[in-house]
Structure 1
Amino acid sequence: MGQLQNPGLQAHSELPENRLLRQSIRYRGRKTLRVKSELRRLKILEATLRIAARDGLRGIKHRAVAREAKVPLAATTYYFRDIHELISDSFMLFAEKARDNLDGFYDTINLVLDTIPAETLRRRGPQRSELAARLSVISTAYLHEQFTKRRQQMLAEQVFLMEALRDDRLAGLARSYREAWTAGLRQILERLDSPSPERDATLLVNVTLGMGYDSLLNDERVDYSALSETVARVIGLALGEQEVLPA
């Protein structure tokens, strides 16, 4: 890829949208001060996420969660006043984990871009197609892992996002979650001199959501070759390396 643009890696400040998501994650259940209590609270929330992924929100009941978490029934009602508070806090935990997972992926991409010459980062620059291919390989590996090894989390995501359509109290967090996802991509696309970073970031998020939904329908049977071709296509479009021809 040529000489390093900078011998030191660039620092990437937190995006406003990421700060918004971080600020939106506010647990409503009983606050804990002791480590043992906090571990039990998290155990209950993790159990709630498993039930949401397996049975949907209709399966979330205090008794079912206590059984799944292997804690006394009184523990769930002690930490959470009602079912909605339990559901809300489990969505908060999901969003927190998803944010950290996404941040790790974006950090990987940004670290790669830190090693790329400035002229290659510019649209139509030299070795642009090689950069697109490299980003496609990284992105395909990431998505394949999500689709095959994080099925439970993806199911929970679908459940909570659908519930947010009906529950204004969850809708705000769902919007912040989506905006943080899009904003991270937009920042990367701006570095790559994308023709339309806002539009293309939204496109990439929508395509990824669609592919994730398809992988859930196909029961984890993910065709790596087909996934790779799709990822390469959308990244090529976003980087201005491919033109969309009229039908």
Structure 2
Amino acid sequence: MVQARLPEASVRSELPEDRSLRQSIRYSGRKAFHAKSEIRRLEILEATLRIAARDGLRGIKHRAVAREAGVPLAATTYYFRDIHELISDSFMLFAEKARDNLDSFYDTIHLVLDTIPPQTLCRGGPQRQELASRLSVISTAYLYEQFTQRREQVLAEQVFLMEALRDDRLAGLARTYREAWTAGLRQILQRLDSPFPARDAALLVNVTLGMGYDSLLNGRHVDFSALSETVERVVGLVLGCAGESSP
């Protein structure tokens, strides 16, 4: 992914913990020596993600994945030692793609903050409510796109995270995925003068996961107005100006 270039005066430094997270979340998988082999391996992983979203992890079987990917059955056992490796590698691929998507969103937020006067970035500063409203509009648009246009990915995320509660082998991947998510939020919240950036980042992740779950329960209809009101309320709380928001 091409990262947006920030003004020289406001280029943010990447935290050491964030660099390590980027490396740990980066999918590598079994090495392929030919481009055609790499394409086939990715086709298998993408098919695995589709099955996870449609049938849950229990639907992931070598034969089902081969049929979904349109490859010979032997291909799934050639590239992956067992079902667990296939599942964990597909989770890593999913996490990498989700991280790229989040990075684009985070870059947008940082670019907006680069245009805001320093005093407004401070808690209790002037025009703080206007900043909260602007960030709420951007965040609502992002989440609405996730819940409507990327519904399969949201469902796969829920499937992997729920299975991690029962499978210790997936739990470590789930923790790394979550930490990669919160690391970018902490940087943003630090710029917004949050007194508790780690706690607030965890709060935002929990709320977003809950909203994603609710959107799946409600089928393909997402109430934009309700989503907007929820996001505005949460952003107002984090920025310390919720009392000024409309009820």
Aligned to 1:125: 125
Deviation at 1:8, TM superposition (A): 4.5
CA contact (8 A) 2:102 2:181 kept: yes
C-alpha distance in 1 between matches for 2:80 and 2:102: 28
> 209-218 or 168-177: which moved more?
168-177
- Counterpart of 1:200, as a letter, is D
Gap change, CA 1:24 and 1:149, over 3 Å in 2 = same
Identify if the C-alpha distance between structure 1 residues 63 and 102 changes in structure 2 by more than 3 Å, giving closer, same or farther.
Answer: same
Consecutive unaligned residues of structure 2, counting only runs of 5 or more, are: 1-5
Contact 1:148/1:222, CA 8 A, preserved across alignment:
yes
- Shift in Å at residue 78 of structure 1? 0.7
Percent of matched pairs sharing the same residue: 82
Distance 2:23 2:141 in 1: 30
SS at match of 1:123: coil
Question: SS of the counterpart of 2:10?
Answer: coil
Measure, in 2, the Cα distance between the counterparts of 1:64 and 1:81: 16
**1-side partners of 2:236 and 2:27: how far apart?**
40
Alignment of 1:193-204 (within 5 A): 193-204=193-204
Aligned AA for 2:71? V
Report the RMSD for the aligned CA atoms in angstroms: 1.9
Change (3 A) 1:84 1:28: farther
> In structure 1, what is the Cα distance between the partners aligned to 2:28 and 2:205?
29
How many angstroms apart in 2 are the aligned matches of 1:8 and 1:117?
A: 16
**Counterpart in 1 of 2:140?**
140
- Taking the TM superposition and a 5 Å limit, the aligned residue runs for 1:18-29 are 18-25=18-25
TM-score by length of 1: 0.91
Contact 1:24/1:173 (CA < 8 Å) preserved in 2? no
Extract unaligned runs of 5+ from structure 1.
Answer: 1-5
The aligned counterpart of 1:50 is 50
Compute the displacement of 1:196 (Å). Answer: 2.4
Counterpart of 2:3 in structure 1 is: none
Moved more, 100-109 or 168-177: 168-177
Pairwise CA distance, 1:24:
2.6
Change (3 A) 1:46 1:7: closer
Q: Which residue of 1 aligns with 2:63?
A: 63
Q: Which structure is richer in relative contact order (CA contacts within 8 A, separation 6 or more)?
A: 1
DSSP 3-state at the match of 2:234: helix
Structure 1 residue 148: deviation in Å? Answer: 0.5
Q: Secondary structure at the match of 1:221?
A: coil
